[in-house]
Amino acid sequence: MSEVVLEAVGDVLGSVQIWAVVVCCAAYGIFMGAVPGLTATMAVALFIPLAYWLDPLPALAAIVTMEACAIFAGDIPNALLRIPGTPASAAYADDAYAFTRRGEPERPLGVCLLFSATGGLLGALMLILVGHQLAKVAVLFSVAEYFWLYLLGLSCAVIVARGSVLRAVFGLLLGLLLSTVGLSAVHTQARFTFGQAELYQGINFIPAMIGLFGVSEVLRNLVTFDAPTAGEKGRKVSRAGTGLFRRCVYEPVASVVGPAASLLRRRTPHVIRSGAIGALVGMLPGAGADIGAWVSLAVSKRFSKRPEEYGQGSLEGIGDASAANSSALAATWIPALVFGIPGDSITAIVIGVLLMKNIRPGPEIFEKQTALIYSIYVVFILANLVLIPIGLLAIKLGGFVVRIPKKVLLPIILLFCVVGAYAINGSYFDVWIVLGMGLLGFGLERWGVPLGPVVLGIILGGPLEERFIQTLTGSDGSFAAFFNRPLAAALGGVCMALWISTATLALRRKKTDQA
């Protein structure tokens, strides 16, 4: 066994090709993740024709690296421009952006980077140590369990939202209603389409997210913008008497990594908790990193000593959520490798690549392809380590964006929002969605409705309805089906407990406010 492990480590670390692939794909993944509208799935899909020419291991190494780097890179526009690069980042968009508005964009990004890498490593460890056992748990989840799981994720979005619970619930329901536009997936019947063929595809959540967060922020800036204002001035640091290395390498690195590393040391148990939550949610096909991030953030807030900071710049929350979404990523490989059931669109492509290389995913893969499996594990670890220097570079480059004067930056952001929306599906309809959602987001924020629950509602509305109808169809209409499996009953109980505690907390807070 240990021989195989050593051989795998040697295979990976000793190969120039793997190193080259990992470093290139890290840069590529960061770019794809950082540009709103370009996704990790797109990055991987574009890479497929190339994968044909590569050996299985470099091909898989490329995908692992892209994925790990893209999910971190989603945090960069999230923090700098309040445009989440991936839905998983939307959970802490306001937290991260709060720092940029205070002129310290590097603080949340440093935390995101280190916690993402740590979370990724934790996820990889879960995959390595208990992947086999977890896969057996994952296949126990039927539609009723998924229904509760999605509801749990949605409830978490309400819990982490800042301010009034009722307003967050309002936002959530609005998002869920928006998700019902288009062809109902479970009935395959058109709803709220008003005879417009384009509305059949419904409201795609990526343009919706770019609109709600990005365009609404551009609007807010433009509406309250007084030209000509001076651009934010970069702080001048006295640099006399320091060496070149210190000035150009050590200080920029230390300023990002230093505070984040000390936070990581202080919060080790929390990070492990978040990584575990991320991995447990991530290994369930169809749940993935988004729900992982929200659930972990909600748990983090519930047990935090400073819950009032959440939503307006809590580094603890940012750290816990970004650790969870990265850890969820590795966990999506568990059902894919063990049973050939893809957890998300990327692992679906992974299975395709494996088949293309004549490797059949399934329990046998661990016996027949032991060397390859161990090599994949090593690649997971390598990718998360390579992420740190490359991510650091990306943070430094991203820093230039905030130095551009606002009056130049805002039009460019608007163009990127439009192009990003178009890039998803090549459809002008999505461009309209971006604009519509931008206006909606602008209005909702003025009315004090948090945007996070709206986005999660749009993302999970479809699956939630599907599981709801499927459970009822399967039981021939009996609502008992939501509780008559032990696992479903347990998840349902957790959900109910969560609502009751949230409601009592909100009521108690109201009382103390009035008193």
Partner 1 sequence: MTETLRHPILHALAVAACVAVCLGGCGRGGEYPDGPLVLVCPWSAGGGTDRLARQVAAQLEGELGVPVNVVNATGGAGVTGHTRGAMARPDGHTFTIMTAELSMLHWRGLTNITYRDYEPLMLINRDDAALFVKSDAPWQSIGDVKEAIQRDPRGLKASGTAQGGIWHVALAGWLVAEDLDASDVIWVSINGAAPSLQELMAGGVDMVCCSLPEAQALLDAGEIRCLGLMGAERLPTYPDIPTFREQGIDWCLGTWRGLGVPVGVPEARKARLTEAIRRVVESDEYLEFTRQAGFNPAAEGPAEFGQALAALDEQFGAILTTDAFKSVQTSRFGPMVFPGVLSGLLAATVIALLATRGAKGPAAARIDGRGMARMAMVIAWVALYVAFAEHAGFMLTAGVLLFVLLWQLEVRWYVALSVAAVVAAVVYQVFAVYLRVPLPWGTWWSG
Q: Which one of residues 13, 196, 239, 447 is an interface residue with partner 1 (CB under 8 A)?
A: 447
371 near partner 1, judged by CB under 8 A: no
Tell me how far CA of residue 137 lies from CA of 123, 131, 263, 294, 447, in angstroms: 16, 10, 33, 21, 43
Phi-psi region of 477 (alpha: psi -120 to 50; beta: other; left: phi over 0): left
Q: Which one of residues 58, 108, 202, 319 is an interface residue with partner 1 (CB under 8 A)?
A: 202
Distance from the first to the final alpha carbon of the chain: 66
57-116 residues near partner 1, rule: CB under 8 A: none
174 near partner 1, judged by CB under 8 A: yes
DSSP conformation class of 439: H
Amino acid sitting at position 62:
A
131-170 residues near partner 1, rule: CB under 8 A: 139-145, 163-164, 166-167, 169-170
245-264 residues near partner 1, rule: CB under 8 A: none
Q: Which one of residues 6, 249, 356, 490 is an interface residue with partner 1 (CB under 8 A)?
A: 356
Burial class (CB in 10 A: 0-12, 13-18, 19+), 357: middle
CB of 137 or CB of 261, closer to partner 1: 137
CB of 431 to partner 1, least distance (A): 6
Cα 361 from Cα 377, distance rounded (Å): 15
What is the three-state SS of 262-304?
HHHHHCHHHHHHHHHHHHHHHCCCCCHHHHHHHHHHHHHHHCC
Q: Which two tokens stand for residue 489?
A: 């009953």
Helix axes 268-282 and 288-302, enclosed angle (nearest 10): 140
29 near partner 1, judged by CB under 8 A: no
CB of 98 or CB of 321, closer to partner 1: 98
Q: Which one of residues 58, 105, 110, 286 is an interface residue with partner 1 (CB under 8 A)?
A: 286
CB of 225 or CB of 303, closer to partner 1: 225
Handedness of CA 459, 465, 471, 474 (dihedral sign): negative
**The one segment of 7-15, 108-116, 149-157, 412-420 that binds partner 1 by CB under 8 A:** 412-420
CB of 6 or CB of 177, closer to partner 1: 177
**The one segment of 83-91, 107-115, 390-398, 430-438 that binds partner 1 by CB under 8 A:** 430-438
**The one segment of 39-47, 68-76, 97-105, 380-388 that binds partner 1 by CB under 8 A:** 39-47
Phi-psi region of 21 (alpha: psi -120 to 50; beta: other; left: phi over 0): alpha
Residue 88: CB atoms within 10 A of its CB come to 27
479 near partner 1, judged by CB under 8 A: no
CB of 392 to partner 1, least distance (A): 21
Cα 122 from Cα 330, distance rounded (Å): 9
DSSP conformation class of 304: -
218 near partner 1, judged by CB under 8 A: yes
CB of 455 to partner 1, least distance (A): 16
**The one segment of 3-11, 68-76, 416-424, 492-500 that binds partner 1 by CB under 8 A:** 416-424
500 near partner 1, judged by CB under 8 A: no
CB of 475 to partner 1, least distance (A): 9
Q: Which one of residues 16, 237, 408, 480 is an interface residue with partner 1 (CB under 8 A)?
A: 408
- For partner 1 (CB under 8 A), the number of binding residues is 114
SS3 (DSSP) at 182: strand
The number of C-alpha atoms within 13 Å of 294 and in the hemisphere containing its C-beta is: 29
**The one segment of 114-122, 219-227, 235-243, 245-253 that binds partner 1 by CB under 8 A:** 219-227
Cα 493 from Cα 474, distance rounded (Å): 21
**Cβ burial 359-398 (10 Å sphere, 16+ → b, else e):** bebeeebeeebeebbbbbbbbbbbbbebbbebbbebbeeb
**The one segment of 12-20, 171-179, 261-269, 369-377 that binds partner 1 by CB under 8 A:** 171-179
Q: Which one of residues 183, 261, 272, 494 is an interface residue with partner 1 (CB under 8 A)?
A: 183
Q: Which one of residues 69, 331, 379, 414 is an interface residue with partner 1 (CB under 8 A)?
A: 414
SS3 (DSSP) at 189: strand
Of the candidates 306, 378, 289, the residue with the CA atom closest to the CA atom of residue 72? 289
CB of 419 or CB of 494, closer to partner 1: 419
Q: Which one of residues 159, 346, 376, 454 is an interface residue with partner 1 (CB under 8 A)?
A: 346
Which ranges constitute the DSSP H helices of 74-105?
A: 75-81, 93-101
Q: Which two tokens stand for residue 352?
A: 């395709």
173 near partner 1, judged by CB under 8 A: yes
Q: Which one of residues 69, 111, 160, 219 is an interface residue with partner 1 (CB under 8 A)?
A: 219
CB of 9 or CB of 186, closer to partner 1: 186
231 near partner 1, judged by CB under 8 A: yes
Cα 321 from Cα 116, distance rounded (Å): 9
Handedness of CA 262, 98, 445, 510 (dihedral sign): positive
Q: Which one of residues 101, 191, 266, 306 is an interface residue with partner 1 (CB under 8 A)?
A: 191
**The one segment of 197-205, 245-253, 261-269, 300-308 that binds partner 1 by CB under 8 A:** 197-205
